[in-house]
Amino acid sequence: MVKSKKYLNSYVYFEIIFVILPLLISIAFLTLAERAVMGSLQRRYGPAVSGFAGILQPFWDGFKLAVKEPLLPANATTGAFFAAPLISVCICVASWCTVLLTDLQLGGLILLLLSSLAVYGVMLAGYSCNSKYAFLGCLRSVSLMVSYELVISVLILCITLFFYDGAGFKCLSFAEANSQLSLVLLPAGLIFYICLLAETKRVPFDLPEAEAELVAGYNVEYSSLGFAVFFVAEYGNTLLMAALYNIYFLGLLSSSIIALLFVTFVWIRGTLPRYRYDAFMQIGWKSLLPISLSLFAAYASL
């Protein structure tokens, strides 16, 4: 009994490491791809010095952040300041473990629960820094997550209740059951894509980190590993939302389609301007939420 329990714990640790290491490597090369695509959009050279085609640039950036001195702001709440990035990255890893390592019948609902808990890491970061810029970025980020997470929840419930055999991630997808349903879910897919940009704080919904207004938002006071951990959590959530889009609307989990979706995020970043805060809130509450509720009623009648 003791040996079996020991082996079970070792197996769980191995699975977690199996999720974390590929995630870190993917994030490293995604940052390189983002800088390369932004360079092409702006007609300039991207990273091309460190290694072949700049392939070593993300690793040197990570090493630079690791050796920097961590600084604690004056009058900051020490425990909350250091706990905030850890909460964010732990929730990100737990969400990926839910998608990759489980076949839960309530996997979609568990993922919604974990995504709602991610707000607390951002709240602690903005509150504990004793900085007005960080606090304003925290308020914007929380309002953004609450507004668009509600729309995402309605859309996921639409799909899991009316088109899937259960709410797990490995159940029969609509693409395998009936290819004509892809046209039925097209409006929900477009709304989900917009909410995906807002939930991951990408342009044009990057108001929590608006450089011209808030310097860097809720992580303005973070340096060294604290900033790196927030960075990993942010890009990990971006990959996670792209993976969910593949699962729910395309019926598969393909790395090439995730990469293609990420390229569209970067393309939008180099093309569209940032929304004002009032317009951003109106889009969520006055446009996307009523449309998603209408789609819920329409799918329920099918």
- What one-character DSSP code corresponds to residue 138? H
What are the distances in angstroms from CA 281 to CA 49, 276, 277? 42, 9, 6
Please state, in angstroms and rounded to a whole number, the distance separating the CA atoms of residues 98 and 277: 33
pLDDT of 292 > 90? The answer is yes
Cα torsion 194, 195, 196, 197 to 10°: value is 60
What's CA 159's distance to the chain center, in Å? Answer: 20
Q: Residue 166's closest CA among 97, 255, 254, 102? A: 102
CB 112 within 8 A of CB 156: yes
pLDDT over 90 for what percent of the chain? 12
Q: Residue 212's closest CA among 123, 281, 143, 133? A: 133
Please state, in angstroms and rounded to a whole number, the distance separating the CA atoms of residues 286 and 271: 25
Sign of the CA dihedral running 102, 107, 110, 116? positive
pLDDT of 210 > 50? The answer is yes
At 2, is the pLDDT very low, low, confident or very high (cuts 50, 70, 90)? very low
pLDDT of 12 > 70? The answer is no
At 5, is the pLDDT very low, low, confident or very high (cuts 50, 70, 90)? low
Extract the tokens encoding 300.
């329920």
User: What is the average pLDDT across 245-249?
Assistant: 83
Sign of the CA dihedral running 269, 201, 147, 93? positive
Angle between helix 255-269 and 224-245 (nearest 10): 110
At 107, is the pLDDT very low, low, confident or very high (cuts 50, 70, 90)? confident
User: What is the average pLDDT across 214-236?
Assistant: 83
Q: Residue 230's closest CA among 211, 216, 240? A: 216
pLDDT of res. 10: 66
Predicted TM-score (pTM) of the model is 0.87
Count of C-beta atoms within a 10 Å radius of residue 21: 10
Residue spans of alpha helices (H) in the chain: 2-41, 57-67, 78-101, 107-128, 132-162, 174-177, 181-184, 186-199, 211-214, 224-245, 255-269, 277-282, 289-300
**Between these two residues, 196 and 106, which has the higher pLDDT value?**
196
What are the distances in angstroms from CA 121 to CA 2, 174, 196, 201, 265? 36, 35, 19, 15, 24
Half-sphere exposure of 186 (CA within 13 A, CB side): 5
User: What is the average pLDDT across 6-10?
Assistant: 57
Please state, in angstroms and rounded to a whole number, the distance separating the CA atoms of residues 207 and 284: 14
What tens digit of pLDDT does each residue of 35-51 get? 888 888 888 887 777 77
Question: Is 63 in a helix, a strand, or coil?
Answer: helix
Average pLDDT, the chain: 81
CB 73 within 8 A of CB 221: yes
pLDDT of res. 174: 45
pLDDT of res. 250: 77
Cα torsion 101, 103, 106, 109 to 10°: value is 30
Please state, in angstroms and rounded to a whole number, the distance separating the CA atoms of residues 216 and 214: 6
pLDDT of 191 > 90? The answer is yes
pLDDT of res. 276: 83
Extract the tokens encoding 103.
């076949």
pLDDT of 20 > 70? The answer is yes
Extract the tokens encoding 282.
């109106």
